[in-house]
Amino acid sequence: MGEGDPEGVEGAGFSSNFPRQPGPDALAGARAAAAPSTASRSPSPARGGGSKSALPMDEPVGRSRGVFAVLASPPVLWLVVFFLVPLSIIWAYSFGQNISLTRIAVDGSLGNYAHALRPLYLGIIGKSLWFAAVTTLLCLIVGFPVAVAISFASPRTKAWLLLLVMLPFWTNLLIRTYALMAVLRTEGYVNALLGFGWKGLAALAALVGLHMPPFTPLELLHNDFAVVFGLVYVQLPFMVLPLYAALDRLDRSLIEASLDLGSGHLTAFARVVIPLATPGIISGVLVTLIPSIGAYLTPDLLGGPSSMMIANVIERQFKAADDWPFGAALSFLLMYLTFAAMAAQAFAGRRRRSA
């Protein structure tokens, strides 16, 4: 090709813009050069004979199990030493009897449980169950509309409403109970407000020539009403939060579809909202019912002699009567009832899932 040949110049310019394809010899050399690096990345056989090498992912899994064991050991040890072991000792005491002021003989007797089934203690257990059932029902009636209002509120309003629900947890139960006593006592805020209203009505009646008797303060403290009111006051947040958790996951399109199909708001609430919120209702009932059965502080401060619950009897057996075996039997009888309620809830949930 000469310098003045135009076709040669164009061919040279075309070949300079596009790289040449490698020939067969160049490809073979590249493969040979890449072979050692590939072999270096392959797993080497295990030392010491024909045993298979571990997979690369086994080491991270084993390390994570070790970390989990290290992190779980302190709380498990704490649970065993300070909960399970003392609980086992109290359970063993329930099968024993006092042989002196400081010694208990564990002989496997069921006399304490037989004594706990006497009509007197069965009546106290029944009253405790009744108080707990009424408390749970009232918490459900009051808490369900509150949970619905929170779940359907705007995000900013929802945060403030949840804060108001959880605000009582920031205050000690004893302080809250004493504050409630200040509200319900004879000279408390409720009676003061009622007395002020009564005086206004008496003044209006005097203008028309009528005479009204003086105001008599209501007995709102140291009775069954005060115990139930205090239990509702304490347990209401425990009902609202599970209900809110269930309602917040509710598919709103189902409610809209039921309304579009002609059902009213009450019908949609009864046939759509309540069935879908059933898991939250069951959780709230259990979380409210079980602590209410074993409530001690509320009936002790707000109740009277006829408002004693089973936890107060257990406390007196351990302290005033110094009868630890019988107190232990009453405690575990209450625990057996709790386990029965939890088993019934689990059985009902299994039947509902299988249906």
Nearest to 252 by CA among 272, 232, 222: 272
Which helix H or strand E contains 191, and what residues bound it? helix 189-207
- Please tell me the distance from the alpha carbon of residue 342 to that of residue 348, in angstroms, as a whole number: 10
pTM: 0.75
Q: Which of 7-21, 197-211, 218-232, 298-312 is predicted least confidently? A: 7-21
Report CA 239 to chain centroid distance, whole Å: 9
**Most confidently modeled range among 182-186, 257-261, 343-347:** 182-186
Nearest to 112 by CA among 128, 89, 96: 96
Percent with pLDDT over 70 in the chain: 82
pLDDT in tens, 93-114: 999 998 888 889 999 889 999 9
Q: Which of 13-27, 45-59, 208-222 is predicted least confidently? A: 13-27
Q: What is the mean pLDDT of residues 327-338?
A: 90
Q: Which of 62-66, 101-105, 230-234 is predicted least confidently? A: 62-66
Residue type, 74: P
Q: pLDDT value at position 142?
A: 96
pLDDT in tens, 141-172: 999 999 999 998 999 999 999 999 999 889 99
Give 3-state DSSP helix, strand, coil % of the chain, rounded to 5.
75, 0, 25
Residue type, 322: D
pLDDT in tens, 67-99: 888 888 999 999 999 999 999 999 999 999 988
Residue type, 126: G
- pLDDT band of 34, cuts 50, 70, 90: very low
Sign of CA dihedral 102, 104, 110, 113: positive
Token pair belonging to 172: 């000690």
- Please tell me the distance from the alpha carbon of residue 38 to that of residue 35, in angstroms, as a whole number: 5
Q: Which residue has the higher pLDDT, 151 or 16?
A: 151
Q: What is the mean pLDDT of residues 168-187?
A: 92
- Please tell me the distance from the alpha carbon of residue 184 to that of residue 303, in angstroms, as a whole number: 12
Half-sphere exposure of 35 (CA within 13 A, CB side): 7
> Which of the 8 DSSP states describes residue 44?
P
Residue type, 289: L
| DSSP secondary structure string for all residues of 287-330 | HHHHHHHT--HHHHHH--GGG--HHHHHHHHHTTS--HHHHHHH
- pLDDT band of 61, cuts 50, 70, 90: low
Are 299 and 313 contacting, i.e. CB atoms less than 8 angstroms apart? no
Are 302 and 222 contacting, i.e. CB atoms less than 8 angstroms apart? yes
Q: pLDDT value at position 59?
A: 64
Q: pLDDT value at position 179?
A: 93
CA angle 311, 295, 297 (to 5 degrees): 90
Q: What is the mean pLDDT of the chain?
A: 83
